Amino acid sequence: MSTIIALETHDVRFPTSQTLDGSDAMNPDPDYSAAYVRLVTDADDGLSGHGFVFTIGRGNDVQVAAIEALRPHLVGREVEPLLDDMGAAWDLLVHDSQLRWLGPEKGVMHMATGAVLNALWDLKAKRAGMPLWQLLASMSPEEIVAAVDFRYLRDALTEDEALELLRAAESGRGERTKALLAQGYPAYTTTPGWLGYDDAKLERLSKEAVADGFTQIKLKVGNDLDEDRRRLALARHAVGPDVCIAIDANQRWEVGEAVEWVQALSDADLAWVEEPTSPDDILGHAAIARAIAPIPVATGEHMMNRVMAKQFLQADALQVLQIDATRVAGVSENLAMLLLAAKFGVRVCPHAGGVGLCEAAQHLSMFDFVALSGETDGRFIEYVDHLHEHFVTPVRIEDGHYVTPTEPGAGTEMLASSITEYEVTA
């Protein structure tokens, strides 16, 4: 047995607003940041668990304060009972009734819980000597189901149905693992498409994306219809007819406005329309999806919890679910969302980019391929080429695919030198 002896936090901020990396219709000048947590035990294995919440600058200190609020639950506690039963870890953190009031299960407090749960998953994977995707894919259906909170899901997905889905994917795990290790997992890139980039940069980066083997790129839209039309034409000219182009409005529109705007762009052959309106508007997304079909609606990077995921699926309000590694309560809640998507037969294309989101998200999609949906058709993990150099096990991209990671852990460990260099102190 070993004991958690420290919960360390760090307020880490990168000055990305200086180059307009990450600029979109709602976020003109983000400073990509991480509210970072490290769990330290007294085991002599030298291993610690790392997690974080991705934010875009101001308020990263609030997010750190929320992580700090979880310290009394963790420091001084034996870690094995949590690592051996991640459902118990969830209960400990998510079901603190007083902290729950601050959400419930949404926003700053919920994301803090996610960072800590992810740190525990990271530690569990490191102790197992496996990358997280492989650890998850090696767990039995019963163990996976025990790690998930089915509260509020059971009218759409029961424990038994989840077990069935996982059992159905048990055969073939070995083959798919081999295929994954050989070929990696498809990626698409948002690198060319930030709103703050000029035409030359958009064109150059679009061509580079094709040369690098990507089969889908994404453009930010939503500030000006004529500009969007012009930039889409530029991008299409650069990538040619065979590469897909998705667009992302970052919540810019009203429901009716979204329909009109997308219809005005529909000759651009859109792969999907992302975040057309408020991420909370299930019924609005459903109305948009009906109106612009067959163009798919994609959303999820601001989807606050599994109860929203359930309803988006029940209402046919999205055709592409973009789970986010740090928006919800970590790997544990993302397992619930993957199971829901599998139940409803909807493809999952994780949101990534930011700080460390690519490093974290890849494990979720890879687990899904090996042990749940068994598919990569029409599925991609988002890729943006920022800030990977700050991680101990940065993602690698080859020929438009994520190279399957083999290092132990969840990918969430930042270099100590980067933390030191970019940490903000009050």
Distance CA 59, CA 30 (A): 12
Burial class (CB in 10 A: 0-12, 13-18, 19+), 421: exposed
Which is closer to its own copies, CB of 238 or CB of 308? 308
Q: How many C-beta atoms surround the C-beta of residue 168 within 10 A?
A: 13
User: Pairing mode, if any, of strands 33-41 and 401-402?
Assistant: unpaired
Please report how close the Cβ of residue 26 comes to its own copies at its closest, in angstroms. Answer: 6
Determine the 3-state secondary structure of 367 from DSSP. Answer: helix
- For residues 168 to 207, the per-residue mask of contacts with its own copies, x marking binding by CB under 8 A and - elsewhere, is ----------------------------------------
Our CB check for its own copies shows the closer of 106 and 127 to be: 106
Q: Is 62 in the site for its own copies (CB under 8 A)?
A: yes
Verify whether residue 218 is a known catalytic residue: no
Which of 20, 43, 65, 234 is the binder for its own copies (CB under 8 A)?
65
Among 4, 34, 39, 66, indicate the residue that binds its own copies (CB under 8 A): 66
Q: One-letter amino acid identity for 373?
A: S
Please, which residue, 223 or 393, has the CB nearer to its own copies? 223
**Does residue 393 bind its own copies (CB under 8 A)?**
no
What angle, rounded to 10 degrees, do the helices at 306-314 and 282-292 form?
40
- Contacts to its own copies from residues 107-126, by CB under 8 A: 107-112
> Binding mask 11-30 vs its own copies (x if CB under 8 A, - otherwise)?
---------------xxxxx
- Angstrom CA distances, 30 to 54, 107, 199, 235, stand at 11, 18, 21, 24
Q: Which of residues 27-46 bind its own copies (CB under 8 A)?
A: 27-31
Cα–Cα distance measured from residue 17 to residue 286, given in angstroms and rounded to the nearest whole number: 34
Considering only residues 207 through 266, tell me which ones interact with its own copies, judged by CB under 8 A: 251, 254-256
Q: Taking a C-beta distance cutoff of 8 angstroms, is the pair 191, 209 a contact?
A: yes
Q: What angle do CA 172, 178, 184 make, to 5 degrees?
A: 115
Query: How far is it, in rounded angstroms, from Cα 302 to Cα 299?
Result: 8
Mask for 291-320, x = binds its own copies (CB under 8 A): -----------x-xx-xx-xx--xx-----
Please, which of residues 312-371 interact with its own copies by CB under 8 A? 314-315
Task: Report the C-alpha gap between 425 and 283 in whole angstroms.
Answer: 42
Stretch touching its own copies by CB under 8 A, among 97-105, 178-186, 371-379, 387-395: 97-105
CA dist list (Å): 382 to 146, 189, 213, 228, 347: 29, 6, 14, 21, 13
Nearer to its own copies, 13 or 390 (CB): 13
Taking CB under 8 A as the criterion, the residue among 129, 152, 201, 224 binding its own copies is: 152
151 belongs to the binding site for its own copies (CB under 8 A):
yes
Q: How far is the CB of 6 from its own copies (least distance, A)?
A: 18
Q: How far is the CB of 222 from its own copies (least distance, A)?
A: 13
Residue among 10, 220, 363, 390 flagged as catalytic: 220
Name the amino acid, one letter, at 409.
G
Contact by Cβ (8 Å): 171, 325: no
Stretch that binds its own copies, among 79-87, 148-156, 391-399, 415-423 (CB under 8 A): 148-156
d(CA 411, CA 309): 25
* Per rule CB under 8 A, count of chain residues that contact its own copies: 60
Cβ at position 303, least distance to its own copies in Å: 11
Cβ-based neighbours of 353, under 8 Å, separated by 6 or more: 22, 190, 382, 383, 384, 386
Q: Please state the closest distance from residue 239 (CB atom) to its own copies, in A.
A: 29
Q: Give the dihedral sign, CA 337/115/50/321.
A: positive
Helices 159-168 and 330-344, axial angle in degrees (round to 10): 80
Q: Catalytic one among 351, 363, 390, 401?
A: 351
Query: Does 220 participate in catalysis according to the annotation?
Result: yes
CB 105 within 8 A of CB 97: no
Stretch that binds its own copies, among 90-98, 239-247, 345-353, 372-380 (CB under 8 A): 90-98
**CA diameter of the chain:** 63
Query: In the set 8, 61, 85, 260, which binds its own copies (CB under 8 A)?
Result: 61
Q: What is the DSSP letter of 78?
A: B
Nearer to its own copies by Cβ, of 75 and 128: the residue is 75
Query: What residues act catalytically?
Result: 220, 351
Site for its own copies, rule CB under 8 A: 26-31, 55-59, 61-63, 65-66, 69, 96-112, 151-152, 154-155, 251, 254-256, 277-284, 287, 302, 304-305, 307-308, 310-311, 314-315
